[in-house]
Amino acid sequence: MFGDDAEDRSDHTIIITDKVDLKEKSSQADPYLIQISGRETGMMHKISGDKMKIGRDATSQIILDDPHVSRNHAELHIKNGREITLKDLGSTNGVFVNGKKVTETTLADGDKVLIGTRLYFKFCYQDSVDQNYQQSLFRAANIDSLTQLYNKKYFVDALSKEFSFSKRTNQPLSLMMMDIDFFKKINDTYGHMAGDLVLKTVGQFLGKNIRLENIACRYGGEEFSIILRNVEGERALQIAERVRTSIEAETIVFRDQNIKITISVGIATLLNNNFETIDDFIQKADEHLYEAKHTGRNRVIMKMAA
């Protein structure tokens, strides 16, 4: 009946004993709001506790610094860690789920949520595999692969948010722009692999020694930036000097050769609305960095704007 080649065919037979529902979520999955529009596309907000407030106010658990978002815009209520209710707190521009304006609704896996007029989120349950994948997408878009610091795109987005918040609340905001001295000479003398090691070492140092509430970024090439939240000028100067002297004390070993490096730093501080725009703010820090580079290097320059 099967013919003489039945035995050969049996080697390629696949026997399915159980059906597997690939859509079934892991019991370990956690609820998230994942931002799918705006400056922080890809950012994951894990939903936990009994309730979480969403809005522009600094007391919110999910802070959205967008002019179309109210200070106290919406609130998530969590029941048994699985049932998530979204409630509008009387916001100006409303809360929408799957295109429909809502005052209060229970979220379902896959729902699209609009907060205000332009910030979209996807509500979903994610297990560890999903979380790792989503985080990898976010890192690819926002993290510099060599230094493991935030990249320039993230820097511009984050500084814009911090600048806006500081002007509204009249809290100080300081910006450090720093540059590795004679970096081209390092590349010319030791090679580009040594240059990459220097950049990586500086990135690791900043990542370990800058407090979590501050933001360290690779601005481009051999230039780095640090956003210092709620830090006034004198305190920023102290931080910059500590970073400068610590990096000067480092010895980088490349193929049995010791490489010593120094940095130059320029600082600008936003206080009492002394800068009109974010471009003015960055330009002032850059001007101070330029002055530090052209007055001897390995120094910090800070001058308060009038």
Q: Catalytic positions, please?
A: 222
What is d(CA 36, CA 49) in angstroms, rounded to the nearest whole number? 23
Are residues 86 and 78 in contact, defined by beta-carbon separation less than 8 angstroms? no
Hey, how many other C-beta atoms are within 10 angstroms of the C-beta on 254?
Answer: 17
Are residues 175 and 227 in contact, defined by beta-carbon separation less than 8 angstroms? yes
The residues, any chain, with a CB within 8 Å of residue 295's CB and separated by 6 or more, are: 301
Tokens of 251: 């010895």
What is d(CA 223, CA 289) in angstroms, rounded to the nearest whole number? 10
Q: How far is CA 291 from the centre of its chain?
A: 30
The residues, any chain, with a CB within 8 Å of residue 126's CB and separated by 6 or more, are: 29, 30, 32, 44, 134
Exposed e or buried b per residue across 155-193, where buried means at least 16 C-beta atoms within 10 angstroms of its C-beta = bbbbbebbbbbbbeeebbbbbbbbbbbebeebbeebeee
The residues, any chain, with a CB within 8 Å of residue 15's CB and separated by 6 or more, are: none
Q: Is the dihedral of CA 220, 263, 173, 228 positive or negative?
A: positive
